[in-house]
Every structure is written in C-alpha cells, then in structure tokens.
Structure 1
Amino acid sequence: MALVNRRKGMEWRAASWMARHPGMTGTPAALAASVVELGPVTTGTVMAGLGAAGVSWYRGHPETFDRFGAPVLRSFRRRWLRYVGRRWRGLMIDCEFGRENRRTGHIEVPRLVRVRSASPSIDTLYVKVLRGQSLKKFQDAADELSMALRADALGIVKVKPGVIALTVVRGNPFEQIIDPAEIPADSSDVDLSALYFGEDEYGNDWTEPILGNHLLGVGAAGSGKSSLMWNPLRAMGLAIRDGLVRVDMCDLKGGMEAGNARPLFNKYADDPDKALQVIEAFRNDMKTTQRHLKDEGLRKVRVSTETPLRVLMIDELAMMTALGSSSVTRAAVKLLAEIMTQGRASGFAVCAYLQEPTKDILPVRDLFTRRICLRTTAENHADMTLGDGMRVKGALADEIPADEEHAGIGFRVDQYTRKPIRVRAGNVADEDIEELVRTCPAPTEDTSNVVEFRRDEDEDAA
C-alpha cells in the first residue's frame, strides 16, 4: 500500500475543528438564523437583555457570580486569547514538544483539549499528547513549560491514557498580611455557621461553619496551621465567655501552642495520656446530651448555656492516632470515630490539625466534613486532604513557598462547585491571643480546668 505523503484538505481540517468546538460555530449560526427569522431589532433586543442580566448578576450578587458565572467566562476568554491555536502551537514547538510527520513534513504538536479556570489565578489545561510521548517527558520539561507559560507554579499529572493536565498558577493574590478575626462586641453577634478564618483570593471573607461540622487543618511545619485554630477561637470568643461554647483543648506540642491560654478551655491536656481522658470525657458528655435531647423529643441541639456547642480541638493529632503508644492510639481512634459519626446533631464538633494526612496517620480522615490544606511536603497530600482530583484542579499545596510571606496560604473546596479556592488565614500574633484570653475566659465550674490523672502503675503502687 502506498504511503500518504500529504495532509488532509483544509476543508476537512476546518470541519474537524468545528466538530470539536460546537459552541464557537453554533453561536454565530444561531445569531444569523435569529436575524433572518426574527429580525435584527428583536435579536439585538434579546442580546441586550442577556447582557443587562449578566451585568445585573455581576453587580447585584457577586458571590454567586464569582462562584458559577465567572469561571465559565474566564475559561472561555483565556482559551481563545491566552491559549489560542497559534500561541499554543508556538509554545509547544519552543518547548520541543513538536514533532515532524515524516510522511507529510507537517509539524504536529500536542492538542489543547480544554481549559478550565477555577479561580482568577489558576488555569487547568487538558492536553492530548502525541503518540509516543509520555508524562515523564512533560515533567522533565516542567521548568521550560513554567517559563513559557509565565507560571509561578506548575503541576503536571496524568488524567487518563493519552491526556495530561497542566495546572498553571500565576501570582500571589495575598500580597498583604490578613488581619485576625475580630472578637465580636456581643455573644449574639457570633455566627457559628460562618466563623471568620481570613480571606479568599477574590478578596471576600473566608468563613467556615463549626456547628454541625468537623474541621481538619493540614499543613507542614511553619505553614501557619495555628491560625486555623486561633481565628475561630477569636471569632467565637464572647460565646466562650458567656458559656454558649465550651472548648476542650488537647495541645500535643507539650503545651507550647496553647499552654498560656488555659483560661479559655473547659478541659486542657498537653500529653497523649491526659488527652485520651479529655477525649473520653468529651464522648461521655456527648452521650449525656444525646439522652437529654431524646428525652426532650429534639433531633437537633439548640445552642444555649444548658446545651452549649462543644468543641474538641486537637493540635498535632498524629500523636493520638499513630505516633503514641498502641493502647492510646487504638482507644483514641475508636473514640474519635464515635464522636464524629454521632456528634453533629448533638452539637459536638472536632477540630484537628496535623502535618501528614495519610490513612496510616489519620484513619478517620474521611469523617471530617470541612478540610483545609496549607503548604505540604508531598504532592499527593492535597488530594488526600481535599479529595481526589483537587491538585489537578489547582490545589498545588506542595508548590507554596516555605517562607513567612506565604504562611497561612492554602486551599479549601467550595461546597457548591467542588473546586479548590485559594485562601489565606488571618495572622494571629501573641498579643491577639493575650487579648482573647484576657477578655473571653471560659466560665469556671471546677477548681482546675486541667485534666489530672495518675498512671495505672502509680495507682497500683498506691
């Protein structure tokens, strides 16, 4: 059989392009048909109405527009301006991903299938590679691609056979340090369904619900995890003072993080053995509240001084779930699983913080309903924390620089669009913690809020 040494005709290439991009060809055809059938005035009126509706949406409800409308418009604009055919072709050739077809002499390049822009600073490019090209070839050329795309960070992963995703991150939307959460003027101003944590990359307040949820904060040492603990504490400070919220703290850094803030807490522990008793007491209180709600005929707690929101905070959770003694870790994992599967309706929430989110370290990882991923040391930690595929969509947590300028920067998942959003937690200084402790101490019921116990061997000796 004779070898074909010429390309497809231009008309066939155009037809193929039109089939791959029906929106680009169908929209002009629909407009032309509308002008012919309805007239230019009617068509112009409809288009003006759609434009006015879009502007009204943009101006009147920016939250939903930024969540649903902006990503679609942004993806379209960048696809046909920033990554338009000739530019993309030149970029691929310059980075040595082009290949000459030995029969036709035409230079072939990997094809850009689609572009998704989850946020103003993150693009995900889905690329169909040429036959014979590998993921490793692209990963080896990551520096060249990053320079060509003018990216601050670039992630390259395989999506499916023959298709890879280039996740392009440009710029740092958080050039200024974010102020910490304000302590409310009154406990009635505390919104337990939207506690302030910081800002997102759109400049909006970043809030998280604590009532009815369990929160997991993941980040390497120095990434700013402490801000994920102190900001919500400040945001609900007066509710703590007035007895509407009771916080139990397990500070497994040996008391270095929260040792000077003991007046805030109902119970406090600074080593795994004491922390196990705090967790067990927390579980027992949950059971008592469940019985109370059942007797009252209630399916859900109503936060009050009689039935306050109970929050269990655990810093360096790995000490309780993997790195402590086997007896402590087994008991802690069992208790935490019981609390997290049963505590939401009764007003018992768990907030935990750790560095490594693997299943070996955190067997109950999937029970956390809200998750935040700051800077990590491994690229798969973002998917482990936020969910499968989140790194492809832009959550390059392992690419966040390890310096003070980027402390507190990370990713959360939008609960509606399931896309990662860049966020930065408010910077909580020592004086901010001192202010919180001074103005919002928890009501004292016992002579000490520190859990004390005697080891079994001490009891035996006694």
Structure 2
Amino acid sequence: MVQGQTLTDWSQLCDALAHGWRAQTVTAATPAPGWITLTIRTRDHLATPILLPTPRPSAAATEVDAVRIGVTEYGTPWVVQVAGRHLLVTGATGAGKGSVVWSILAGIAPAVRAGVVRLWVIDPKGGMEFGAATALFDRFVHATGTPTLELLRAAAGLVQERAGRYRGVTRTHIATTVEPQVVIVIDELASLTAYETDRKMASETIQLLSLILSQGRAVGVTVIAAAQDPSKDVLSMRQLFPTRIGLRLTEATQVDMVLGQGARAAGALCDQIPDSLPGVGYQIEDGTSRPLRARAFHVTDTDILDLADRYPAPAWPMDTPEGGETQS
C-alpha cells in the first residue's frame, strides 16, 4: 500500500473495483503491515447445492475434532471442530441454518452410534426440525420452560461434576464411551432468551447457558446454537462461541453483530448472499480475521431418516449422572 493508506480505504473501494473488473465480488485483507490482498471472485463455485455424501463404511467413529460439513469456495472440504468448540449459526428465515446443523449431526453420527458422542437437543418449535431423528438423541425436548430448564440444569451439573473430577488430573477431555462428548443442540436461541415471557425462567436460562459456554469446552460439553434474530439480547453471549457462522442476513449492520467487529470489512458479505443460495455463509474463528466462505451440504428429509436408522444412539444407563431420556 501507499504510505498513509489503510485497510478501510481499500474496503470502501471494493464495490467499485468489482464493477470495474466485472467480478462478482472483491474483498480486501491485510496479510502484513503495509500490504493489501485483494480476492477477486469471477464465478461462484457454490452456486449448485452440494448433496450429503454417502457415509463411508470405514469412517472413523470418533471424528469430532474435524467434521466435514460442506465445501469452501476454493473447492476444499469445509471442516469444523466440534470437540472443544462452541458453534453459533445465525441467518435469516430460509438462509439454511438447518443445513449447517444437520451437516454437523451427519458428520458426528458414527460417533453417536459408537457411544463417544451424546446429543442433547432442544427444539423449541415443537420438534418440527429434529423430531424425525429422535433415535439419534440421548435427550430431546421440544418445549420451552421447565423441560428445557431441566436439560440445561443437568448439563450445568455435568460440567461442574466433571470439572471437580478433572481438577489436578487433566486439562483436556478425551471423548470415550465412559466420558463421552456431550453436544447440546439448540434450534432457536431466541426462544429460550429474548422470546421467553417468563423473565425468571429466561434469566435462569441465560445463567445456565453462560456457565455451560464458559466452562463446558474443557470438560467435553459443547453447544451448537442456531439463531434467526441477531439482536443484542439474543447474541449477548456471542463472545462465548469461538466458532461463528453467518448465513444470509437482511442488513449489513447485522454482520458484525453476528461474526464480530470488522467481519464485514474483512469480506463477510452475509447481507449480499441471495435467497437462492441457502446454506452459503461465512465462518469466523476466534483468533482469525479473515472469514471463510463455504456452503453446507443439502440434507434432505430422506437423509435425516437414514441417519436416524443407520446411527441410533445406544441405550444409556439412567443411574449415571450423564444418562438421559427422551422428554417433551
């Protein structure tokens, strides 16, 4: 860059450069002080839906550190970490939040069948999103209020119980059938917080979630949450999610609310994703400044039924602190 120029100067010119070069988009990033990198996209490799791959018979049953959930714009596998990482997915109606979450569940399904991962699912919309695959889940609630609070209380209790046992023994949880990775999936975060009419319940929910998010990663309890409304009330815990994925959003100002300050200037153009590209979004990881553009697999109803049939969760003893049962 010429002396005196900044990344902001170049970011403000990206739209004009894209029109001048007849490119789809131009984004700017700074790889080192005094240097600028322009990424020019002339055609979209993510324009076509990507089908969920057929499960490989030889697939490792414990792959929770690197779960493939789609394809990046460079044609490489889109991989997310489930163990030790909380993940937040935000997007407008029809943006494809379900595609991202179901792609993750498909990726860890072999570990579920092996007993290395336990899925605790909260579907506050009456079970419409996850009700077809209850065989995958160790715990499943489809109503807000007391059922959801009981699940979150159990999760918080598990976090504290494990922390007490691990203290002075180990700093890293390793998922096994004895100490499985517990993955809590929340379909609509706002239903538990901003939209809960009982303020006492909402307050306890936020308190429990904050404890789980702040202390759960080290002891093998992680959260995957989806949100439609990127308001301050809903995303007050955003900083507790190290991995954040922004799908199509309705306003440019929402991008930084979801992904973090400066994300849009760095190239996360969530507000420019068209309706015709559900499942396309930008991923930001804590400690990185450059967003990754990718598309999740297209998971059909048939795929979901097949997952539930192929990878049912094993029976879990009810007398153990980590056991659970399906509830409404």
Deviations 1:149-206 (A, max 9, x none): 5354689xxxxxxxxxx99865322133212255353573542111011011110001
Q: Deviations over 1:401-452 (max 9, x none)?
A: 112xx11111113667521121000111111111110011111236983225
SS at match of 1:353: strand
Residues 1:397 and 2:282 are matched in the alignment: no
Gaps of 5+ in 1: 1-18, 22-111, 117-123, 129-137, 156-165, 453-462
Cα distance change on mapping 1:236 and 1:170 into 2, 3 Å: same
Tell me: CA distance 1:248–1:152, structure 2 relative to 1, closer, same or farther (3 Å): same
* 1:246 to 2:86 alignment: no
Structure with higher helix content:
1
Counterpart among 289, 314, 326 of residue 443 in structure 1: 314
Cα deviation, 1:317-341, whole Å, max 9, x if unaligned, reads 1101110121221111100000111
Answer whether contact 2:11 2:265 (CA < 8 A) is retained. no
1:288 maps to which residue? 161
Q: 1:396 to 1:239 in 2, by over 3 A?
A: same
How far apart, in 2, do the equivalents of 1:280 and 1:306 lie? 21
Letter in structure 1 aligned against 2:67? L
The 5 A counterparts of 1:13-412 are 20=2, 113=5, 125-126=10-11, 147-152=19-24, 170-180=42-52, 182-185=54-57, 188-273=60-145, 274-294=147-167, 297-325=169-197, 326-403=199-276, 406-412=277-283
Q: Could you tell me the TM-score, scaled by structure 2's length?
A: 0.85
Instruction: Decide whether aligned partners of structure 1 residues 265 and 149 sit closer, same or farther in structure 2, where only a CA change above 3 A counts.
Output: same
The structure that has the greater radius of gyration is: 1
Secondary structure of the structure 1 residue equivalent to 2:122: strand
Q: Does the 8 Å contact 1:272/1:328 carry over to 2?
A: no
One-letter amino acid of the counterpart of residue 297, structure 2: G
Question: Could you tell me which amino acid in structure 2 is paired with residue 410 of structure 1?
Answer: G
Percent identity reads 33
Asked if 1 retains the 8 angstrom alpha-carbon contact of 2:243 and 2:285, the reply is no
Structure 1 pair 379–236 and aligned structure 2 pair: CA distance change class (3 A): same
SS in 1 for 2:219: coil
Gaps in structure 2 of 5+ consecutive residues: 28-37, 319-323
* 2: CA distance, partners of 1:275 / 1:185: 35
Between the aligned partners of 1:449 and 1:210, the Cα distance in structure 2 is 23
Q: Is residue 2:313 matched to residue 1:428? A: no
Q: Do 1:125 and 1:167's aligned partners in 2 also have CA atoms closer than 8 Å?
A: no
Q: CA RMSD in A?
A: 3.0
- 169 and 356 in structure 1: CA distance in 2 versus 1, 3 angstrom threshold: farther
* Number of aligned residues: 312
User: Cα gap change, 1:151/1:438 in structure 2, threshold over 3 Å: closer, same or farther?
Assistant: same
Structure 1 Cα separation of the partners of residues 66 and 272 of structure 2: 29
> Given the superposition, is the C-alpha separation of residues 113 and 182 from structure 1 closer, same or farther in structure 2, using an over 3 Å criterion?
farther
Q: Please give the per-residue CA displacement for 1:91-139, whole angstroms capped at 9, x wherever unaligned.
A: xxxxxxxxxxxxxxxxxxxxx95789xxxxxxx93569xxxxxxxxx9x
Structure possessing the higher relative contact order (Cα contacts under 8 Å, 6 or more residues apart)? 2
CA distance in 2, matches of 1:286, 1:113: 48
Partner SS, residue 234 of structure 1: helix
